[in-house]
């Protein structure tokens, strides 16, 4: 690849996935969603912040009627992704009877979703599926049904395409991995 190693907060990252490779994976995922949700008018629930770039690219490719909302999850954690997600902010829509598709940047340990799903399920949607750009199978700690993962990656720390390292790197169109 023609991209150099980059530095964020004095940490080095090397090129890992190009914007073209990411776009190809999203094309495939969008085709599956278009087929599976034809005529169903799903409610896409985009989990901020990391999911913003993936959501924009995925939803431009969704051809049916749909609605789109954005939520944040407040996690009162001690250490990183072991924290418990206790609150969903921004979900004003009535999800009862709706086909929900949660849009996430990455499924890593699955902690976020493990705590988010019961809160959503309590409001009796017709269905809930998870669409994520990246999925780290070796990192998953909870039994989640993950039918719409655009790309599986190893258990390495990546940045770019919405994902940050301590606040930096979300704007990068390519994805980089920590050296």
Question: Residue 124's CB: how many other CB atoms inside 10 A?
Answer: 11
Q: Which two tokens stand for residue 132?
A: 């994520």
Task: Determine the interface stretch with ligand IMP among 15-23, 29-37, 55-63, 158-166 (rule: CB under 6 A).
Answer: 158-166
Burial class from Cβ neighbours inside 10 Å (0-12, 13-18, 19+) for residue 98 reads: buried
Among residues 29 and 111, whose Cβ is nearest to ligand IMP?
Answer: 111
Q: Is 108 a catalytic residue?
A: yes
Given candidates 95, 98, 111, 161, which one binds ligand IMP under the rule CB under 6 A?
Answer: 111
Considering only the stretches 21-29, 87-95, 123-131, 156-164, report the one whose residues sit in contact with ligand IMP under the rule CB under 6 A.
Answer: 156-164
Q: Please state, in angstroms and rounded to a whole number, the distance separating the CA atoms of residues 15 and 2.
A: 9
The β-bridge relationship of strands 67-75 and 43-48 is parallel
Q: Among positive and negative, which fits the CA dihedral 79, 81, 82, 83?
A: positive
Among 158, 161, 172, 175, binds ligand IMP (CB under 6 A): 158
Rounded Cα gap, residues 46 and 162, in angstroms = 12
- Residues 26-65, mask of contacts with ligand IMP (x by CB under 6 A): ------------------------x---------------
Residue 163 found at the interface with ligand IMP (CB under 6 A): yes
For ligand IMP, which stretch binds (CB under 6 A), given 34-42, 55-63, 95-103, 152-160?
Answer: 152-160
Gap between the Cα atoms of 91 and 96, Å rounded: 12
Q: Interface with ligand IMP includes 146 (CB under 6 A)?
A: no
Please, are residues 125 and 143 in contact by the beta-carbon 8 Å criterion? no
Confirm or reject binding of residue 86 to ligand IMP (CB under 6 A).
no
Q: Which residues are catalytic?
A: 108
Residues that bind ligand IMP (CB under 6 A): 50, 81, 104-112, 157-159, 163
């Amino acid at each position: 690849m023609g991209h150099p190693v980059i530095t964020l907060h004095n940490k080095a990252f090397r090129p890992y996935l190009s914007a073209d490779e990411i776009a190809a994976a999203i094309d495939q995922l969008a085709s599956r969603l278009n087929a599976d949700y034809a005529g169903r008018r799903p409610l896409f629930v985009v989990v901020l912040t990391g999911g913003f770039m993936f959501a924009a690219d995925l939803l431009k490719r969704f051809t049916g009627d749909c609605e789109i909302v954005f939520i944040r999850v407040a996690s009162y954690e001690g250490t990183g992704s072991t924290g418990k997600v206790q609150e969903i902010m921004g979900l004003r829509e009535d999800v009862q009877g709706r086909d929900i598709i949660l849009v996430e940047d990455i499924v890593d340990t699955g902690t976020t979703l493990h705590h988010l799903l019961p809160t959503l399920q309590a409001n009796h949607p017709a269905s809930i599926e998870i669409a994520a750009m990246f999925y780290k199978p070796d990192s998953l700690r909870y039994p989640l049904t993950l039918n719409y993962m655009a790309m599986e990656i190893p258990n390495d720390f990546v940045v770019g395409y919405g994902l940050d390292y301590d606040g930096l790197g979300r704007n990068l169109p390519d994805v980089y991995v920590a050296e």
